[in-house]
A and B are shown apart, each in its own frame.
Chain A
Amino acid sequence: MAPPPASAVADSMVVASRPRDSQTNVDIMAVTKGFHWPWLVAFLFAVSGVVMALSALVYQTYHGFGVAGYQAPVFWGVYIITFVFWIGIGHAGTLISAILFLFRAKWRNAINRGAEAMTVFAVLTAALFPLIHIGRLWKFYFLLPYPNQRYLWVNFKSPLLWDVFAINTYLTISVLFFIIGLIPDIAIARDRAVGWKRAVYVVLSAGWQGTGKQWKAHSRTVLHLSGIATPLVLSVHSIVSWDFAMSIVPGWHATIFAPYFVAGAIFGGFAMVLVVMIPVRKIFRLERYITDYHFENMSRFILFTSLICGYAYGAEYFIAWYSGVEPEQTSFWQRAFGPYWFSTWCMITFNVVMPQLLWIKKLRTNIPFLFVLAFFINLGMWFERYVIIITSLSREFVPAAWGLYIPSTVELMVLTGSFCWFSMFFLLFLKMFPIIAISEVKELEIHARDHAHGGAH
């Protein structure tokens, strides 16, 4: 029998009424729309802090490093401490995005976007500090190998140069990971935006339509980026730790430094995810997507990495004692009972003692408690770097050369400004792009619906 003409078939087709938009799209895109007082207050506060820090930086650049607290024998101060702190914060994003992706931990889907954004902004913040620390900001390109008239090259045997390559690689890969993950969600925003926002989203979504070909390329890209970002994330903080461990300064020259720094970075990074995502969830009413289950899983990670940190702290003291090396023993004794005892005991209390409360399930699911604990953990992690850097440098081999370092007002202003700089970018991101990976959340929701419907998987 001859088939009917196409026009006749078309007439017989019933077109269903146009359905509503997906509730997930509506809920998550709502964050980018409308006016939120808490957001505005936080943004203005962040911008003020950035202006304050910039003023301090201009003042320091004009007057020289005398206005910082640097004095013999301590010439690595708040700027290097804060650099290590922010690099550590940047570790949670890649851990959640890459490592948990490889382990097929689906619970990461609601928090990975926020953590990735945090990673990018934290590494951007961190990358400023070596430049601030070198004083003459305009000479920053000396850090890179570049052709020059004197035919000299950088020293490839220096851990500081390894760090330059590690940080730049980490920043690039984090940004690529972040952008690739964002493209499908920008397309969602594009399809629902009007005016100039739509024009921006049209360019940024790069012609994304969710075709099978595009999803295939996208999924494999995320997989391969995860595969290569996993050793990268472990290498970056190891290399940062070698800035210290490759030297012979008592308190730094330890083989445990690489895993100790990596565990500390994940620990601090997860705490920062809690500090950031708990208010975001509350203010933008995202409880349906970021549940207590997510926070409980993160607190388990925090508890686990806190134990590794506690072990590392103990191992450092044990090895110092067991080695029989007097400068090493003195350095560690001075950490706990010398002029910087306060920072050491803050570090131990906030990073090892307080997180043990997370053994209690009721506390792991108590959101206000988690927020306060995460805040103190971040404080503790900053103190950890303070302890490592300052106590070691101020108590080296010769007691006659010992000194005392006290951060100056300028340094503290720049430190405060770094938090504002990070927050400013994060707050802008909240209003421009979806804070939750919509397509990944939908993948879970639709799969669940398909299973209930008797889908063939």
Chain B
Amino acid sequence: MATLVSVYDMPSDVSTVVRKLKNRGFEDLTTYSPAPFEEIEEAEDPKPSAVRVFTLIGGLVGVVTGFGIQIWMSMDWPIKIAGKNIAAIPPMWIIGFELTILFGGILTVIGCLILGGLYPRPLDDHYSPRFSAEEFGVVVRCEDRDVAEVESLMRGNNAKEVTLAASH
């Protein structure tokens, strides 16, 4: 297996080369970008992010918890206030809403950490501080026999630099 690391200046070149590489069946690739660019994210993985599932689960858990604790605690220590029901629902919307947001937000961030692999760990071998400056990187792992084709695709899409990082 070989690993090719290419460097670009423009996000449009990165999204184009990623799309072309994937069309040719080179799926094992990673992009590095100094800023968020939707076109690159789309080219690399067009499926919707699963973060929204975490948000939804958090929100549902939050609303159930919000109403649940209020109803249970009100019933557990019943005090009649202003002639209202012991477990009066209308005022519970406030805390129910707040906990929906709270749990939804926390789960969203947990989803981001899980899906983005965000935890203190060693950086990839091919990562370079250049990718946190203004350059973009595309790293492709391919068979030795495909190196020439991958390199030509990269150079054909304005790669300013292509290096063969590893070959086993």
Contact = CB atoms under 8 A, between A and B. Distances in A.
B79 interface: yes
Main DSSP-derived SS at the B contact region = helix
A165 B34 CA distance: 38
Nearest to B123: A209
A346 to B, nearest CB: 33
B95 A180 contact: no
A344 to B, nearest CB: 31
A161 interface: yes
A58 interface: no
A220 B149 CA distance: 34
Nearest to B134: A22
Contacts of B25: none
Interface in B40-68: 40-41, 44-45, 49, 51-52, 55, 59
Contacts of B11: 446-447, 450, 455
Interface in A168-225: 168-169, 172-173, 176-177, 179-180, 183-184, 187-188, 191-192, 202-203, 206-221, 224-225
Given A3-B145, A6-B147, A442-B134, A156 B73 contact: yes
A13 interface: yes
A22 to B, nearest CB: 4
Contacts of A446: 10-11, 34-35, 37, 134
Nearest to B72: A153
Contact of A228 (B84, B101, B118, B121): B101
A24 B35 CA distance: 12
B81 A207 contact: no
Interface residues of A, number: 84
Main DSSP-derived SS at the A contact region = helix
Interface in A216-250: 216-221, 224-225, 228-229, 231-232, 235, 239
Contacts of A15: 161, 163
A221 B98 contact: no
A141 to B, nearest CB: 16
Contact of B118 (A156, A183, A224, A449): A183
Interface string B78-111: 0101101000100110110111011011101101
Interface string B1-20: 01000010111110110100
A84 B114 CA distance: 37
A180 B109 contact: yes
Interface string A142-169: 0001000001111111000110011011
A66 interface: no
B101 A207 contact: no
Contacts of A453: 10, 12
A440 interface: yes
B168 to A, nearest CB: 10
25 contacts: A10-B164, A153-B76, A157-B82, A165-B98, A172-B102, A173-B105, A206-B118, A207-B121, A208-B118, A209-B32, A209-B127, A211-B33, A214-B116, A216-B41, A216-B44, A217-B49, A219-B38, A220-B112, A221-B109, A229-B105, A232-B98, A235-B94, A439-B35, A450-B10, A453-B10
Given A210-B32, A231-B97, 11 more contacts: A6-B147, A165-B94, A213-B116, A216-B45, A217-B115, A220-B51, A221-B108, A221-B112, A228-B105, A239-B94, A440-B36
